[in-house]
Amino acid sequence: MANGIGKEFMQMTKYQYLFPSDQMKGEQQPPLELSYDRTKPVIDLPKPENIVVKTVDLRRAIESRTSMRNYSKKPLMPEELSYLLWCTQGVKEIMPGAATFRNVPSAGARHCLETYLLVNNVTDILPGMYRFLACEHKLTELDVHPDIADKITEACLGQHMVKSCSVVFIWSSVAYRMKWRYGERGYRYMHLDAGHVCQNLYLSAASIDCGVCAIAAYSDDDLNNLLSLDGEEEFVIYLATVGKK
């Protein structure tokens, strides 16, 4: 512990310290996506192939990228939300029982992330908490109580943009989906996956006149509890607010 827990983590997840993974042992791999309560309402999102957005030069999008914490009161349209979800976790191909291929890179195509949404201001979608069903490109309702936005804001240490934005992307990591192949080193890759997905959100938001602010300051336990995550097998790893400029 003299070197600090961060240095110890980096040291002990080097290849020379790894044991054979469950994949190497012949264990069955975990599901490609978490199951969901089919008694809850499910929202069909506009199909990505039918969504038209303005063309933005990639270099301009990269050079103009900045974190935005103040947004207009203009709502996000369902087509725009669908587009952002497609760009960040959209599934292009499914190999049943083996892998999904998506619009973001992931170590070994493990795609350990799940996307939760705090909807504040999206046309025709009731405010509340939802989960993105990436393989079906749909949303499933989780919690539409009026105080959920206040609770999420409090768990994010009171950061005002959590409640004033149109939607908050909350990414969790399903640990075993990555650890099954990579063991303890998989924790490194989970965080890399989160970086990939958030950068895609920043860049894709530019084509719908939206701003983004990534959030890494939050109470892990409080946020996991609000999403009914156990904090070990699945835990929040990153957030980002999105709203109209």
**Can you state the angle between helices 78-89 and 186-205, rounded to 10 degrees?**
140
As a residue count, the chain comes to 245
Per-residue pLDDT of the chain (245 residues; tens, 9 = 90+): 456 999 999 999 999 999 999 999 999 999 999 999 999 999 999 999 999 999 999 999 999 999 999 999 999 999 999 999 999 999 999 999 999 999 999 999 999 999 999 999 999 999 999 999 999 999 999 999 999 999 999 999 999 999 999 999 999 999 999 999 999 999 999 999 999 999 999 999 999 999 999 999 999 999 999 999 999 999 999 999 999 99
Residue pointed to by tokens 């080097």: 14
DSSP symbols for 139-171: EEEEE--TTHHHHHHHHTTT-THHHHSSEEEEE
Boundaries of every domain in the chain: 5-244
Residue type, position 29, single letter? Q
pTM: 0.96
Q: Which two tokens stand for residue 207?
A: 């084509």
CATH architecture for residues 5-244: 3-Layer(aba) Sandwich (3.40)
Q: What are the CB-based long-range contacts (under 8 Å, 24+) for 101-105?
A: 102/134, 103/200, 104/193, 104/196, 104/197, 104/200, 105/196
Q: Residue 76: its pLDDT value, please?
A: 98
